[in-house]
Amino acid sequence: MSDNDYPLDSYRTSFGKYLKRLRTERKYTQAYLQAATRVAATLISAFEHGERAVGPEVAEKLADGLQLPDYERERFLIAAAKTRRKDRLMNEARHLPPEVLNYVPKMLPSLGIDPAQITSASFWKAGETRDRYIGNRLDQEYARLRSAMIGIDQYDLLHVTADGERFLCALLVVPAR
C-alpha cells in the first residue's frame, strides 16, 4: 500500500496520539494550549481523537504552543501534514522546484526500492542509531559516491543553487537490516 493509499484515519489517529503525548508530557491542558495557540480546545480534542485533519497553519500554531525544539517540530509538522491529503507538503516545501521535490522518488527505483511498496517513513537524527552495520554500509556507499565524483563510478546527484551558492545533494541509501 502506498502512502497515498494509506487510510487517512490511521494518520489522523496516529497524529492525535502524538499531539496528546506531547501536550501531556509538558503538563499542558487543552485549555492552556488553546490560550497559547488560539486554536480552540474543542478542535485540539478533535485532533487528539483523530477526528479532524490538521492544516499547515494550525500545525504551526500547535508546534509553537508546544514549544517544540527544531527537530521535534519538523517531525510534528510532517505528521500533521499526513492527516490531510492536499497538505502532504510542509510549508517549506511548497515553493520548491520539481527537481527538488521529485529527487527522492526518482532515486528510489534506481536503488531497488519500489515507492509503491513504501508503507511508512520516519526521520532519524544522526546518532539515534549506533548500529555498526548501518555505519559500515553508509561508509561503503559514501566511498562509492566519492568514486563517482572523480568519474570512476556512477551516482545521480541533485544540483541546487540558492542565494548564488551552488550545492550538490546525494541520497545515500543502505538497508537497515
Assigned domain for 174 exists = no
Which secondary structure element, helix H or strand E, spans residue 168, and what is its range? strand 165-169
Provide, rounded to the nearest whole percent, the portion of the chain with pLDDT above 70.
75
148, 165: one domain: yes
Assigned domain for 35 exists = yes
149, 85: one domain: no
More confident residue, 79 or 46: 46
Q: Which of 27, 22, 39 is nearest to 79 (CA)?
A: 22
Assigned domain for 145 exists = yes
Residue 57, sorted as left (phi over 0), alpha (psi -120 to 50) or beta, turns out to be alpha
Q: How many domains does the chain have?
A: 2
46, 26: one domain: yes
Q: Would the pLDDT of 40 be above 50?
A: yes
Q: Which of 7-16, 132-141, 154-163, 165-174 has the highest mean pLDDT?
A: 7-16
pLDDT band at 1 (very low <50, low <70, confident <90, very high): very low
Q: Which of 89, 111, 98, 120 is nearest to 171 (CA)?
A: 111
Assigned domain for 153 exists = yes
58, 129: one domain: no
| CATH number where 27 lies | 1.10.260.40
Q: Which of 38, 66, 93 marks a domain boundary?
A: 93
How far apart are alpha carbons 173 and 84 in whole angstroms? 28
162, 140: one domain: yes
Assigned domain for 2 exists = no
Residue 2 pLDDT: 40
pLDDT digits (tens, 9 = 90+) for 49-64: 999 999 889 999 999 9
Instruction: State the CB neighbour count (10 A cutoff) for residue 39.
Output: 20
73, 36: one domain: yes
Assigned domain for 1 exists = no
pLDDT digits (tens, 9 = 90+) for 89-114: 666 776 777 677 667 777 777 777 78
Whether 62 and 80 have beta carbons less than 8 Å apart is answered as yes
- Structural domain of residue 118, as residue ranges? 98-169
pTM above 0.85, yes or no: no
**4-13 LR contacts (CB < 8 Å, sep 24+):** 4/85, 6/119, 8/53, 8/83, 8/84, 8/85, 9/50, 11/79, 11/82, 11/83, 12/47, 12/50, 12/51, 12/52, 12/53, 12/83, 13/50
